[in-house]
A and B are shown apart, each in its own frame.
Chain A
Amino acid sequence: MGDDRPTHGDDRPTLTGDRAVDVRRGLGDDGAAGAAGAPGPGTRHPADERVVHQMERAISLLLRGGVLVSTGLMLAGLILIFVHHPGYSRLSGGVSYRAVTSPSVPAPHTFSELGNALASDQGRGLVVVGLVVLILTPVLRVVVGMLGFARLRDLPMALVTLGVLCVLVASFFVGSR
């Protein structure tokens, strides 16, 4: 072991002379008192540490929540599918999966199709909703990050995450062409 050496309390390098040090807030640093070698405690403000912790907690909870909700929806949907299609699970004479998973059997992927699928209560629509929730979870995570940086008044990072959000939204529209 001993590959990773702790850094010794160096002062933050002063290359960015045109930005006041206290405009930048640290995130992802453990500024706690016991941190051996964490960079310059003088640049960390206690109020900001709290916001940082809140942000990390919010992101963690959001990811976990999104995963749980989408899993629940997908499981419920899957169960519904098998309940409505007893042929899917018989050992003999059962439907081979190839019949249902070929590209010529398109999955519902527009809102009207989704509405129909949900209404006919076959479970497939529910699974798709679960998938949509799963796909949206990282997007929401970016939003939370952006709000967190805005609250920390960290303009550079807030703008960066806004940029990521814009690219993500653009990708959803590119796809629907």
Chain B
Amino acid sequence: MTVLDLVVVLFAISVAAGVLGSLVGLGGGVVIVPVLTLLFHVDIRLAIGASIVSVIATSSGAAAAYVRERLTNLRAGMFLEVATTTGALTGAYLTTVLPARYLFVLFALVLGYSAFAMFRRRHAAALLAVSGDRIANFFDLHGSYYDDALGHDVGYKVTGTKAGLSLMYVAGMVSALLGIGSGALKVPAMDLAMHMPMKVSTATSNFMIGVTAAASAGVYFARGQIDPLLAAPVAIGVLAGALGGSRLLARIAARTLRLVFVIVLVVISVEMLQRGLS
């Protein structure tokens, strides 16, 4: 397979990853890394470098639309980013110390539990009218958004800020270690722990993963682990996919989105478990 073939095929696969990623708030990294390592037998360090870039691409591409549509909770997102970036720094340090295998298993377990919890909650999701969370009230993390499927504005209050921060810290750490955006951890954290609406959770996750990835991208870049021939077609493809996918989000019902997300979580969880145990 020539270099051109690689670039073209990589581009096509990345478009698909971008569409899926922009819908469920993931960066596509969880698709890109296995594709590169298993299908193309690329060294895993280069695969992770390309993956980190694709996460930033998805994030920026999709978030541009979601922010304009006022779906993203900017305050909550930027507030939680303190935890994700600090976690990413910790993770970047830990790569020298921790064997990746434990991470895969840990990640798989967390995702598995999230899938289970979200599946159970798929019919619930009454939004809060009042929040007793002091931090959320102090920083005014609450918001509202216009739900296309329902046809009107929906206000919501945020809670569980401490749990959210802890989860975001772990998500940041995993992001730096595995080269992903950890949207798979962020969305359940916002949806389950902080009681944010599902669409807002995925949109805000998309917004946040770019910054999380940027925190580790610097490290990978300096180590020369971002190969232009891999990272560029992946980034462009994912962007194209994310631009298309972000238009779809407005028309999907929250329940459908949650179901799709649960399926994605299960698939990723199984794959991570496999990598950790093999």
Which residues from chain A sit less than 8 Å from chain B, CB to CB?
A: 1, 3-8, 10, 12-13, 15-16, 19, 24-30, 32, 34-39, 55-57, 59-61, 63-64, 66-67, 70-71, 74-75, 77-78, 81-82, 85, 88-91, 94-98, 100-103, 106-107, 109, 124, 127-128, 130-132, 134-139, 141-142, 145, 156-157, 160-161, 163-164, 167-168, 170-172, 174-177
* Contact across chains for B127 and A28 when beta carbons are under 8 A apart: no
Q: Which of B131, B152, B236 contacts A74 (CB 8 A)?
A: B236
Q: Is the CB of B146 within 8 A of A30?
A: yes
Instruction: Evaluate contact between A137 and B210: CB separation under 8 angstroms.
Output: yes
Q: A78: which B residues are within 8 A, CB to CB?
A: 7, 232-233
What's the nearest-Cβ distance from chain A to residue B91, in Å?
Answer: 10
Stretch among B64-72, B103-111, B182-190, B264-272 lining the A interface: B64-72
Residues from chain B with Cβ under 8 Å of A98 in the complex: 41
**Any chain A CB within 8 A of the CB of B120?**
no
> Which B residues lie within 8 Å of A55 (CB)?
74
Residues in chain A near residue B82, CB distance under 8 A: 160, 163-164, 167
Which residue of A has the minimal Cβ distance to B199?
Answer: A4
Q: Tell which of B40, B70, B126 touches A30, judged by Cβ atoms closer than 8 Å.
A: B70
Interchain CB contact (< 8 A) of A95 among B2, B126, B155, B224: B2
Contact with A4, one of B42, B134, B147, B236 (Cβ below 8 angstroms): B147
How many A-B contacts at CB < 8 Å in the complex?
288
Contact A75 B236 (CB under 8 A): yes
The answer on a CB contact under 8 Å between A107 and B236 is: no
| A96 and B1 alpha carbons, distance in the complex (Å) | 6
Q: Which residue of B lies closest to A88 (CB)?
A: B3
Report if A134-B60 is in contact (Cβ < 8 Å); known contacts: A168-B214, A174-B92. Answer: yes
Most buried by A among B46, B68, B79, B81: B81
The one of A19, A25, A71, A128 in contact with B138, judged by C-beta atoms closer than 8 angstroms, is: A19
Interface class of chain B by DSSP: helix
Contacts of B226 in A (CB 8 A): 107, 109, 131
Chain B residues within 8 Å of A28, by CB: 70, 72-76, 143-144
In the bound complex, what is the Cα–Cα distance between A32 and B255 (angstroms)? 27
Q: State whether A161 touches B140 (Cβ < 8 A).
A: no
Indicate if the CB atoms of B75 and A157 lie closer than 8 Å: yes
Check A63–B153 contact: CB distance below 8 A. no
Say whether, besides A4-B150, A109-B221, A145 and B3 are in contact (CB < 8 Å): no
Residue from B78, B126, B134 within 8 A of A142 (CB atoms):
B78
Q: Is the CB of A138 within 8 A of B213?
A: yes
Given A57-B68, A78-B232, A145-B74, the answer on whether A4 and B127 have CB atoms closer than 8 Å is: yes
Interface size class of chain B, counting residues whose CB lies under 8 Å from the partner chain: 35 or more
Shortest CB–CB separation between residue B153 and chain A, in angstroms?
4
The residue on A at minimum CB distance from B45 is A103
B38 at the interface (CB under 8 A from A): no
Q: Are A16 and B138 in contact (CB under 8 A)?
A: yes
**Given known contacts A90-B2, A141-B210, A172 and B218 CB-to-CB distance under 8 angstroms:** yes
| Cα separation A95 to B4 with both chains bound (whole Å) | 9
Chain B hits for A10, CB < 8 A: 129-130
Q: Which residues of B contact A63 (CB under 8 A)?
A: 60-61, 63-64, 67
Q: Is the CB of B126 within 8 A of A6?
A: no
A1-B150, A100-B229 are contacts. A16–B137 as well, Cβ < 8 Å? yes
Q: Say yes or no: A35-B153 contact (C-beta < 8 A), given A167-B85, A167-B86.
A: yes
Measured between alpha carbons, how far is A100 from B16 in the docked complex, in Å?
25
Task: Say yes or no: B85 contacts A74, CB within 8 Å.
Answer: no
Q: Which residues of B contact A61 (CB under 8 A)?
A: 64
The answer to whether A3 touches B74, judged by C-beta atoms less than 8 angstroms apart, is no
Least CB distance, A56 to chain B, in whole angstroms: 5
Nearest neighbor of A146 in chain B, beta-carbon distance:
B78
Asked if B124 contacts A88 (CB within 8 A), the reply is no
Q: Is the CB of B253 within 8 A of A27?
A: no
